[in-house]
Amino acid sequence: MNINMKDKKREEAILLSLRRCDYLTREQLQKMHNLGQTRNAQRILYSMSEYVSSFTDEKKKIYYLNAEGRERVQAEKVRKKTAMVTHYLMRNDLFIIKGRPSTWENEVKIELPGTKTSIIADAAYTFNKIHCFVEVDYKQSMRKNAAKIKKYQQLSTINPQFNLIWVTTTHYRKNKIESLCAELNYKAYLWEDLK
């Protein structure tokens, strides 16, 4: 395969990752696409500026698809600079650590059968035929987290065959979530452990 074709395939793969994940840091893209050392990754991403825009948040460069990039990979969601970017990055670090499951979907609505209640999970995927629902806790009030966990407890009375996965930012918040989830099949991660 000639070098130009190889570069085009890598470029396409990066654009598809941005379509799926919305926002990615250089470090996340390096892990996902084996972009080598920092200087090489920066060179590759700079060469893609026709399709990719970026902004800096907490000293990290965050990449997302611009209009040309969205058109090239048929992405419908328009992304811009946002204060919510940390939420996306936390979810994406979990996506990467879990091996980038092919069944992964972001923002999934879960209807509770026989009720008018629903839950919107930050992400969902299946692993060994078990549904896994992902929740990201970044500056969310613990009261809102508790209300969401109650809905998952309702779901577990109807269908107990699922795992609930949390990503949070501090040991205190992780401990609180773990105590609220005690009756569920769950796993809680600290974001720093996923990087």
Tokens of 61: 């460069």
The reply to whether 64 and 16 lie within a common domain is yes
The reply to whether 109 and 188 lie within a common domain is yes
Q: Residue 187: inside a domain, yes or no?
A: yes
Q: Residue 157: inside a domain, yes or no?
A: yes
**Could you tell me the pTM of the whole model?**
0.92
Q: Residue 95: inside a domain, yes or no?
A: no
Q: Residue 88: inside a domain, yes or no?
A: no
The reply to whether 189 and 137 lie within a common domain is yes
The reply to whether 112 and 162 lie within a common domain is yes
The rounded distance, in Å, linking the Cα atoms of 144 and 188 is 17
State the residue range of the domain holding 122: 105-194
Of 82, 115, 138, the domain-final residue: 82
Q: Residue 98: inside a domain, yes or no?
A: no
The reply to whether 151 and 72 lie within a common domain is no
Q: What pLDDT is recorded for position 113? A: 81
DSSP of 22-67: S-EEHHHHHHHHT--SHHHHHHHHHHTTTTEEEEEETTEEEEEE-H
- Beta bridge partner(s), residue 53: 64
The reply to whether 186 and 120 lie within a common domain is yes
How many domains does the chain fold into?
Answer: 2
The reply to whether 67 and 109 lie within a common domain is no
Q: Residue 34: inside a domain, yes or no?
A: yes
Of 82, 114, 141, the domain-final residue: 82
Q: What pLDDT is recorded for position 2? A: 56
The rounded distance, in Å, linking the Cα atoms of 138 and 131 is 23
Neighbour order of strands in the sheet with 186-190: 105-111, 118-127, 130-136, 162-168, 186-190
Q: What pLDDT is recorded for position 117? A: 86
The reply to whether 68 and 112 lie within a common domain is no
Q: Residue 91: inside a domain, yes or no?
A: no
| CA geometry: angle 29, 122, 13, nearest 5 deg | 25
Q: What pLDDT is recorded for position 75? A: 95
The rounded distance, in Å, linking the Cα atoms of 165 and 36 is 30
| pLDDT < 50 positions in the chain | none
